[in-house]
Amino acid sequence: MGWRLARGWALGPLLWGCALALQGGMLYPRESPSRERKDLDGLWSFRADLSDGRRLGFEQQWYRRPLRESGPTLDMPVPSSFNDVGQDAQLRSFVGWVWYEREAVLPQRWTQDLSTRVVLRIGSAHYYAIVWVNGVHVAEHEGGHLPFEADISKLVQSGPLSSCRITIAINNTLTPHTLPPGTILYKTDTSKYPKGYFVQDINFDFFNYAGLHRSVILYTTPTTYIDDITVTTGVDQDTGLVNYQIFTQGSEHVQLDVRLLDADGRVVADGAGGRGQLQVPAAHLWWPYLMHEHPAYLYSLEVRMTGQTQDGPVADFYTLPVGIRTVAVTESQFLINGKPFYFHGVNKHEDSDVRGKGFDWALLMKDFNLLRWLGANAFRTSHYPYAEEVMQLCDRYGIVVIDECPGVGIVLPQSYGNASLQHHLQVMEELVRRDKNHPAVVMWSVANEPTSSLKPAGYYLKTVIAHTKALDPTRPVTFVTNSNFEGDLGAPYVDVICVNSYYSWYHDYGHLEVIQLQLRTQFEGWYRTYHKPIIQSEYGAETIAGFHEDPPLMFTEEYQKSLLEQYHLVLDQKRKEYVVGELIWNFADFMTNQSPQRPVGNRKGIFTRQRQPKSAAFLLRERYWKLANETRCSLFRGPSDGASG
């Protein structure tokens, strides 16, 4: 993958010196001849610490012995949020420490072969997690949406063990310095609230689900192993360029061999060493869904490491999917493989009945089938990184991704201090490290709707954006704003303007007739001020499925359709100039905190929470397929066009 600012100078795709600045691996656990994987999905023992200070588990050291020995436990499915699984209202809204435990049976070779490295990987633990294995502390991690891991080889190879006990304590408390931020409000009026009563206050509009949201995995590598791979790509006429850099751990005396295989398993290029460039004549490019007759073409980069250690010969193998594509930005266009790309898609949430934010393959495939039915070619990971398996499917199906960090609800002045900034920078490092090799990821988003008119926010956003560009010069960077174009202090530093607006919803209630004027004013003001391409990153209306009124009234399906149609009239004018995308809010209804404005969650979805279509889904389907057909007709006149596959 590569990116360049298409104004006479380049970053990444053709210049090897623009490699990503990150080191230290977070490769997705894949099985290979040298690697094994054991998923720990299923039922875990669970307990919420209901003590007043939420510290009883630490005071009694619940991690030192099986959890059942210190009190009653519940069966809790992993992956899932713990909030909606049971019938306990106190657990649904619980804030504080919860404890998970699982006994994992280990293959004999893992515990006896000292040339085997055993790693424990947690895909997502929201929000702060502490991990013990057999009562020994092995890891801590802050942040609820990215993976972390620990080498537990010495613990499981220290004696005649056939299993290990994994204990994970998770705290979902949000503070002004977490990402996303929040505050704990203590209600001290004892005439209204019990002594010590508190609630979690947040400034974002989705439910703060918590727990082990993604798989917990044990996997192995040799003790000398491939630690990380970084790939950037470019195109020189019809030749694809695959720049690779490989990092190893355990020994400096290793040999690295790489092969690039096409989709039929044929070797199309090979090389040696930890750094180099593979050239692929007549390369098949990675194209977005509906932009090409053969979208989402993936090669396989096979990396083979061999070496000699004091314990004898060693070998490690890892295969990385690779898509060859470029990204560029002009003053008025977003280009993929040199062709204008128009984002027509959705914003999503990881959210569903019962599971909360828990990963579920059946739900994921349903969502991707709906995206393809809809004719959507893109989505934003609002408002946090999604599961790695989601990114893999986007690569596989050609769904373009704006990859967003959990920087949502940053509105308090104290959330712009140095402690918050340093954590934000760390989160961006973890996100880039995890998702850097996905061709579907074409842009990073560092925040959603920060108070970007505040002076401290200007420096804060400038720093995070600059840091992200330094981590990955191969992709453009943005943040999503709902500010006025005249006072936004972060906009000068982004590559693409992403704007959220809800005309005739959050103001001018019911007055659909003002949308076109207000939206046109918005676009013209932003472009006149910054001369950068613009994406309408959110727009929409709350709709209760089955509510109907004509003439349209708010909350009815007719009103949602009519509001979208008014937006589309202006979007069709401005996409001929400098608007490069539109993302509806939202793909599906989702859960929020309870309030009089939220009837069992946010109802702005074009699908219900159960993934059934509202009327607006059919409207958008007709529009998106029309946009896709226009794009393909204008870009590709025949099968011999360019270096396409």
CA distances from 246 to 21, 150, 381, 470 (A): 13, 21, 28, 19
Q: What are phi and psi of 561, to 5 degrees?
A: -65, -45
The 3-state secondary structure of 243-288 reads EEEEEEECCCCEEEEEEEECCCCCEEEEEECCEEEEEECCCCCCCC
Is the Cβ–Cβ distance between 490 and 481 less than 8 Å?
yes
Alpha-carbon span 617 to 613, nearest angstrom: 6
Helix (H) / strand (E) element for 530: namely helix 515-530
How are strands ordered across the β-sheet holding 148-151?
37-39, 216-222, 116-122, 148-151
Cα–Cα distance, 132 to 136 (Å, whole number): 5
Question: Who contacts 117 (Cβ-Cβ below 8 Å, separation ≥6)?
Answer: 151, 153, 220, 221, 222, 223, 225
Q: Which of 430, 449, 538, 582 is catalytic?
A: 449
Question: From CA 315, how far away is CA 222, in angstroms rounded?
Answer: 7
Report yes or no: 401 and 348 within 8 Å, Cβ to Cβ: no
Helix, strand, coil abundance in the chain, percent, nearest 5: 25, 35, 45
The β-bridge relationship of strands 136-142 and 97-105 is unpaired
In the numeric block, which tokens belong to residue 442?
């074409």
Q: State how far Cα 342 lies from the chain centre.
A: 21
Task: Compute φ and ψ for 353, nearest 5 degrees.
Answer: -55, 145
What is the radius of gyration, based on Cα positions, of the chain? 25
DSSP one-letter code for 47? E
- Cβ-proximal residues to 252 (8 Å cutoff; 6+ apart), any chain: none
User: From residue 609, how far is each of 348, 355, 546 by CA, in Å?
Assistant: 11, 12, 14
Answer whether 428's CB lies under 8 Å from 468's CB: yes
3-state secondary structure 531-580: CCCEEEEECCCCECCCCCCCCCCCECHHHHHHHHHHHHHHHHHHCCCCEE
Six token digits for residue 422: 């340093």
Structure tokens given for 88: 């306990």
Hey, how many other C-beta atoms are within 10 angstroms of the C-beta on 199? 14
Residue 557 is a catalytic residue: no
| C-alpha distances in Å from residue 72, one per residue of 44, 46, 62, 185, 528 | 13, 9, 12, 30, 63
Chain position carrying tokens 């070998």: 315
Q: Which residues are catalytic?
A: 449
